[in-house]
Structure 1
């Protein structure tokens, strides 16, 4: 499984460390809330709402340089829209990898 990185954030910032820290801070603040909302919706089998949560989380997956994981999320979002949970385990593994990575920042 690929690992998160800050390459995209560094490329966006143009070397501006304050910008990088601000963006990382926003991600660290929003990600746990969005992850929990997803967990609540998937547990309640609210697949449409869970698909919306995955849609939001996809952007953070992309920002953290997880290109293959982004594709997993796209497919999982489509499955949820069709009330199917194919890809759930892979997506939740990605969320855990992101959680662990953000704790190191």
Structure 2
């Protein structure tokens, strides 16, 4: 499953602590809201709308240097677009881990 980390954010911040802090703040603000929207769409069976949210979350996985989460998000996004939620449980596990991680940074 791997672990998220801040390597990518550190790389793009390139030593600029203010920019680094802004990126962290954005992730910490956006991700919980996106997860709430995703869960709402999934509960209502709105797979296309959920796929749009998964697309955004997928990019958070990259920002958190978490390739495994990115891969499951990409697969889940495509499956949702095809009308299938086959990867929901796996994706939800990654979401839980991502939310737990951002609460520690």
- TM-score, normalised on structure 2? 0.97
The residue that corresponds to 1:94 in the other structure is 94
Q: Stretches of 4+ moved more than 6 A in 1?
A: none
- TM-score, normalised on structure 1? 0.97
Q: 1:68 deviation in Å?
A: 1.8
* RMSD value, Cα: 0.7
For residues 100 and 59 of structure 1, what CA distance do their matches in structure 2 show? 17
For residues 40 and 74 of structure 1, what CA distance do their matches in structure 2 show? 19
Aligned residue pairs total: 105
For residues 30 and 71 of structure 2, what CA distance do their matches in structure 1 show? 21
Q: How does 1:1-105 map to 2 (within 5 A)?
A: 1-105=1-105
For residues 71 and 45 of structure 2, what CA distance do their matches in structure 1 show? 22
For residues 47 and 97 of structure 1, what CA distance do their matches in structure 2 show? 22
Please, which runs of 5 or more residues in structure 1 have no aligned partner? Answer: none
